[in-house]
């Protein structure tokens, strides 16, 4: 496999200062000499203390969202340049929780991804179908529409990662079977190559997200088009997160 595994923790809105720094340090302590690249995406409040605490370790730090403007009258928002300034290398965009609770559209996610690219960040762009859409056999159409609308034309393997997160598997304890995940990942790669060009898309990493844990990570990561994981709950315990990274080694 040419594509390096990426094991990314999405901490969501969890972690006070001391616990968050301790968790990041525990991840950093287990990060040396791994085949997989490790990434933690803590709440914005913890980015700076974590970068200061683990600087130099083989763990990247990322944001969970950013605005599409670099600065301005956007109360409460954070710009990609600000994330970059603190030492972030990545930003998660268009997570289903942002799409659902903040009404983010594909167009907004795309604008954010373009701004992230301009700031020198790698955008992790999330797509995924709801349970009703899966039941109605709309999964692949929904995914194509989201990709078409959310991914910048100029995306490359160096600045873009896709995360497939079936909405019915997020925070529910339900996980896609390895076959279900592979089917959609294969579709994402094929659709991306056809739509955005094979030269750019061949090396784009496609992560699976949705209740990935040490017990199911090995099977999911052994699928040919699963290039890593975007981990929710299991990223909040260093042993579980590193256990998933073990499965990628």
H/E element, 141: helix 139-150
Closer to ligand 3PY by Cβ: residue 46 or 231: 231
In angstroms, the CA 21 to CA 32 distance is 18
Catalytic residues: 95, 165
In angstroms, the CA 217 to CA 78 distance is 32
Closer to ligand 3PY by Cβ: residue 50 or 81: 50
Closest of 183, 194, 190 to residue 223, by C-alpha: 183
| Residue 230: CB minimum distance to ligand 3PY, A | 4
Which residue, judged by CB position, is nearest to ligand 3PY in the bound state? Answer: 232
Q: Choose which of 79, 150, 180, 211 interacts with ligand 3PY (CB under 6 A).
A: 211
For 76, 172, 202, 207, the CA distances from 107, given in Å and listed in that order, are 20, 28, 24, 21
Give residues 123-182 in contact with ligand 3PY (rule: CB under 6 A): 165, 170-171
In angstroms, the CA 157 to CA 43 distance is 25
210 counts as binding ligand 3PY under rule CB under 6 A: yes
Closer to ligand 3PY by Cβ: residue 104 or 165: 165
List interacting residues with ligand 3PY (CB under 6 A). Answer: 10, 95, 165, 170-171, 209-211, 230-232
């Amino acid at each position: 496999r040419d594509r390096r595994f990426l094991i990314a923790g999405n901490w969501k809105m969890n972690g006070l200062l001391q616990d968050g720094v301790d968790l990041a340090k525990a991840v950093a302590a287990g990060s040396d000499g791994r085949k997989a690249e490790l990434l933690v995406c803590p709440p914005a409040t913890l980015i700076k203390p974590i970068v200061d605490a683990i600087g130099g370790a083989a763990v990247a730090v990322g944001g969970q969202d950013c605005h599409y403007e670099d600065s301005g009258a956007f109360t409460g928002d954070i710009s990609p340049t600000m994330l970059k300034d603190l030492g972030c290398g990545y930003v998660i965009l268009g997570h289903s929780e942002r799409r659902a609770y903040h009404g983010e559209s594909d167009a907004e996610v795309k604008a954010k991804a373009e701004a992230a690219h301009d700031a020198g960040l790698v955008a992790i762009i999330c797509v995924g179908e709801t349970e009703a859409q899966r039941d109605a056999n709309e999964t692949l159409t929904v995914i194509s529409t989201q990709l078409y609308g959310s991914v910048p034309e100029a995306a490359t393997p160096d600045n873009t990662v896709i995360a497939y997160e079936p909405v019915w598997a997020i925070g529910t304890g339900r996980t896609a079977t390895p076959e279900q995940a592979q089917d959609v990942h294969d579709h994402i790669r094929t659709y991306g190559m056809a739509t955005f060009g094979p030269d750019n898309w061949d090396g784009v990493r496609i992560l699976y997200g949705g209740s990935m844990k040490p017990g199911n990570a090995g099977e999911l990561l052994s699928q040919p088009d699963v290039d890593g994981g975007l981990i929710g709950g299991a990223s909040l315990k260093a042993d579980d997160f590193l256990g998933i990274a073990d499965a990628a080694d």
